[in-house]
Structure formats: structure tokens, C-alpha cells
Amino acid sequence: MLAERYRLEAPLGRGGMGQVYRAHDELLHRSLAVKILPFAASDEVARERFRVEARAAARVEDPHAVTIYDYEVDGDAAYLIMELVDGPDLGEELAAHGPMDPARVLGIGAQVAGGLAAAHLHGVVHRDIKPSNLLLAEDGTVKIADFGIARLLDESAVPLTLTGQVLGTSLYLAPERARGQAAGPASDVYALGCVLYELLTGRPPFDEHSAVAALRRHVETPPVPPSALRPGTPPGVERCLLAMLAKDPEQRPPAAQAASWCASAALAAAPPAAVRTVPEPMPVREKAAARPHWWTSARRRARAVVERPVPAVPR
């Protein structure tokens, strides 16, 4: 029992900073997730890193980001109390079912990019977007988890990254980060582009056994067009992914714009039966409920995440 309130039930996995458990809130009688970071009492760097994670994650309020409820320090451990997402991560979903259809991939992209746009609005860069950090809820909603190495752009905190140390996963690391430069919002967009590429084709854009080789290719090698690996990929889907994978961060769309592009490309790529208007006298409400969740989320994102006009998907 933590803080005489949170009862740990079962381990869910280990993130970048600690162990995650399924837990029960004995006060509010609800299930949630608890992330625990053990550290020595004298380990001020670990304590500071955990504090930054809590503050960063708590500032992000979006349907596509895991909600942080509380932060506590108890003895020699600190822990985050978080929303519980009952479902696999996108890596597990891909391993179980294989590559996804283009419309679903871009529907996921619209959700995640919208969540990133909310984070970037508060100066928070995730820095570690990858399939295992994107959780799939039972209703199809995708939620961004583990802001474990996020850093507030507007906070001059204790340096948390060792000189020369590259945080993140090499398969999804933006070229500027591979060159040792600081992460920015565009780095998250690139990483998301890598994830979407993998969901569509079944492999990351630069699938190397050596981290060094993967980093070099991120910097030097253009990605193979998705249509070469998955014939029949709609041109709008391919243009959207390649724009997110631009080597120059200035050439990538901001996250809000990427969300709009993904939503538009998802709707354009969807089978007609998924998006057509059901004619009368069919019961429209019941039929609408049967639409795939990515369609609803993509349409919602197309309306909500972009508050000003943005350029069309690049041609």
C-alpha cells in the first residue's frame, strides 16, 4: 500500500524511469496505474528527473495523453499516479495483427499528433515517441504515455542529460538528435512519422541491428517510399509520412498541422463504406456508432486541433 491509499495489484511493465503497476485507489474506488522510481536518498539527479517528469506530464491535458493524477515521494521511492489504459501498446498490436490499413494508420497519426500539439503548446517535448509509448485503449483511442525523459523548454532546470548521451530509441530518433543536437517539437513529429511508417509497412524506415548504423541512416539516407514496401499506399498517405520524415526539422509540419494532414489523409484513404452518409430511412445513429474509432477521432481532430487555416497536404 502506498500513502495508505494506493494498493498495488500487478506489474504492467518497466518504463524509462521505473516499474509500472496496476493499482486500486482505496479512497476513490477506481483502478489506475502507478509508476514507481526507486532511488537512493542521496540521488538528487534521479529525484529531480522524476519531479520534472511529473510537472511536464501534468501540464499536458488532452484526450490522447495519459492523465497524471498525483505525484508523491514515499521513503526512498517516488511515484506517479496515472490513468490506467487497459489495452496493448502499438508495438504489441503490430506484432499481434501485422501492418495496418492506411486509413487506420493515419487515424492513429491524427490522434497522436493532436496529443503532441497539446504538449508542445505547453513547451513540453516528449523526446521518446515509439510504439511502446503509445497505448491503445479498448475503444480505439490512442494515448501517449511515459513523458519520462520530457524536458520543459521554458525551464532552466538541473541538467538531466549527460553530455553526449542520446536519450530515446535509435529506430525513431530524429536526424538532429542523432547529430547530438537538442530535441524540439519537430523531433517528436519525426519520431511519430517513423512509428506510422512502421505501422503501415511492418518495419521502421531505418531498420538496423546496430544503433550507430541506424543513427547514420537517419542523418544521411532518404527513407524508402512506403508504396515501395506496400504497393497500393494512397499518394496522400505517402506524402504525409514523408513530410513528417523530412531531414530538416524546419521542413516538417508542426504537430497540429500534422494532425490535420493525417486526419484528411485518413478520411481520403478510408473505404467508402466507412465514411459514406447512410441514406434514409436507415437508422443513422446506430449506423454511425458502427464506424471505426479512428474515423471518429480523425474527424474530431480535423475540426478541433487546428484553430487556424493550414496549408493542404503537400503535393
The pLDDT of residue 281: 38
pLDDT band at residue 297 under the 50/70/90 scheme:
low
244: pLDDT confidence band, cut at 50, 70 and 90?
very high
| Bridge partners of residue 90, in order along the sequence | none
**pLDDT surpassing 50 at residue 164:** no
Q: Mean pLDDT for the chain?
A: 81
Residue 195 grid cell: 512509428
With cut-offs at 50, 70 and 90, classify the pLDDT of residue 157: very low
- Comparing 11 with 208, the larger pLDDT belongs to 11
With a cut of 80, say whether residue 99 has pLDDT above it: yes
Statement: residue 165 has pLDDT above 80: no
Average pLDDT over residues 28-52: 77
What cell numbers appear for 11 in the block?
506489474
Q: Which residues lie closer than 8 Å to 133 by C-beta, 6 or more apart?
A: 89, 126, 144, 145, 146
Q: Is 271 left (phi over 0), alpha (psi -120 to 50) or beta?
A: beta
Helix 293-304 and helix 102-121, axial crossing angle in degrees, nearest 10: 40
- Residue in 62, 101, 128, 188 annotated catalytic: 128
Q: Is the per-residue pLDDT at 225 higher than 60?
A: yes
Strand partners, 146: none
Task: Give the integer Cα–Cα distance in Å for 64 and 194.
Answer: 18
Cell 494512397 locates to 234
Active site residue 43: no
Greater model confidence, 218 or 78: 218
Domains for the chain: give ranges and CATH numbers.
Answer: 6-82 (3.30.200.20), 90-304 (1.10.510.10)
Beta-carbon count within 10 A of 14 CB? 10
Tens of pLDDT along 256-287?
999 999 999 999 988 765 544 333 333 434 33
